[in-house]
Homo-oligomer: A and B are copies of this chain.
Amino acid sequence: MSTLMTEPAAGRFGDFGGRFVPESLVPACDALAAAFREAWADPAFRAELDELLVVYAGRPTPLTPARNLSADLGIELLLKREDLAHTGSHKINNVLGQALLARRMGKGRLIAETGAGQHGVATATAAALLGLEATVYMGERDIERQQLNVLRMTTLGAEVVPVGSGSRTLKDATNEAMRAWVSDVDRAHFLLGSVGGPHPYPWMVRELQRVIGVEARRQSRTVPDVVVACVGGGSNSAGTFAGFADTSARLVGVEAAGGAAMTNGSPGVVHGARSMVLQDADGQVAEAESVAAGLDYPGIGPEHAHLGAIGRAEYHTVKDDEVVEAVRRLARSEGIICALESAHAVAWVLRAAGTPELPTGSRVVLTLSGRGDKDMATLLGGAS
């Protein structure tokens, strides 16, 4: 199995991936791929990143046995706690790596898109730490529902640019970020937040998130039966899966029912890669609709499309109300308030446990991609 392991030639994962970008961006993508390839093979770069992950970002994050839920559900549930990473989600793993790379490439500015704001906060954080400028594009709808993260970004010194076009969510913020990159490609690094986009992003981001899976694999001691994570663009799941790709563990990605590119999409080209996309009969990209801003996205990273196509990973969907209930259930059973995004994985486990989908006695590693502070207002709104 070469997928999840090596650099994909020409950025291809089977039929998916590639680099569908304006010619203006091709040299930058090439330079980025080369720089990452070289840095990733450079022990000094790896050491600097690893040090930051440990002394700054709080890695390794624990693998917490969810004892109460396990007893209730008749399975053994282990939670990989990305909610405890600095800034509150797995996004920091990728961001620190790319920000170090940007500095190594002599870039003075980071451009990022964000949905839930976690990637934007992580980017603003790394920019502050490394003395870079940061501009974060965020859909107006997401700005409304993730106010806390907007305040955090501006406190960190980043510029947050509201995006009012289209669905005013992550998809549109990504368009705007790519436009901004084209206009400042010499000085700026486009710090993409997930495993989508043109080559080298899907590969690079998965490599930078691999640490989740590697740690979880080590911490879980024996190979679990199932590894599960939520899927927006697919970075926390890709990083998690990477640690278990060469094991017998089932890999399960959980999508938002309203943004389920794997389940309800078809092949298409958006944001620089060929992958699975929610689109209409004409090929216009559909607007996703999820309570979780970070999963409110009509695409998915190309490697997931490939893993799904070859049957190595399976993808399921959960609905908004299951997700809200999963946040509460996890909070009340284990004292952990997870992000609405992460709660998708929890919701699937709650539904599947004890059914043939997830038989009693299964050992499950679940990546809790982030903490839920940012979602408290949404939860309250939904509850009242």
State the A residues within 8 Å of B (CB): 54-56, 58, 61-65, 68, 81, 84-86, 88, 124-129, 131, 148, 151-152, 155-157, 327-328, 331-337, 372-374, 376-377, 379-380
Query: Does the CB pair A58–B81 fall under 8 Å?
Result: yes
From A84, which residue of chain B is reached at the shortest CB distance?
B58
Closest B residue to A379 by beta carbon equals B155
- Chain A interface main SS type: helix
Residue of chain B at shortest CB distance from A56: B64
> Which chain B positions have C-beta within 8 A of A64?
55-56
Sample (28) of A-B pairs whose CB atoms are under 8 Å apart: A56-B62, A58-B61, A58-B62, A58-B84, A68-B129, A68-B131, A81-B86, A84-B85, A84-B86, A86-B336, A88-B373, A125-B336, A126-B335, A127-B335, A128-B333, A128-B335, A148-B148, A148-B373, A151-B377, A151-B380, A152-B337, A152-B373, A152-B376, A155-B379, A156-B332, A156-B337, A157-B331, A157-B332
Bound-state Cα–Cα, A128 to B338, Å: 14
The answer, among B126, B334, B379, for a CB contact under 8 Å with A128, is B334
* Residues of chain B contacted by A157 (CB below 8 angstroms): 331-332
Contact A128 B56, beta carbon cutoff 8 Å:
no
- Which residues of the other chain, B, contact A331 by a CB distance below 8 angstroms? 128, 155-157
Q: How far is the CA of A374 from the CA of B88 in the complex (A)?
A: 13
State in angstroms the CA–CA spacing of A151 and B376 once bound together.
6
Q: Count copies of this chain in the complex.
A: 2
Give the Cβ gap from A76 to chain B, nearest Cβ, in Å.
Answer: 14
| Complex CA–CA separation, A62 to B327 (angstroms) | 28
B-side contacts of A68, CB under 8 Å: 129, 131
**Measured between C-beta atoms, what is the minimum distance from A221 to chain B in Å?**
13
- Closest CB-CB distance, A191 to chain B, in whole Å? 14
Residues in B neighbouring A372, C-beta threshold 8 A: 155
Assembled-state Cα–Cα distance A116/B88 (Å): 19
Return A382 CB to nearest CB of chain B, in Å: 11
4 closest cross-chain pairs (CB), A and B: A125-B335, A128-B335, A151-B376, A129-B335
A243 and B282 CA atoms in complex are apart in Å by 67
Residue on B with the closest CB to A126?
B335
Residues of B within 8 A of A336 (CB): 86, 125
Chain B residue numbers with a CB within 8 Å of A332 are 128, 156-157
Give the distance in Å from the alpha carbon of A252 to the alpha carbon of B124 in the complex: 31
User: Is B65 a contact of A148 with CB atoms below 8 Å?
Assistant: no
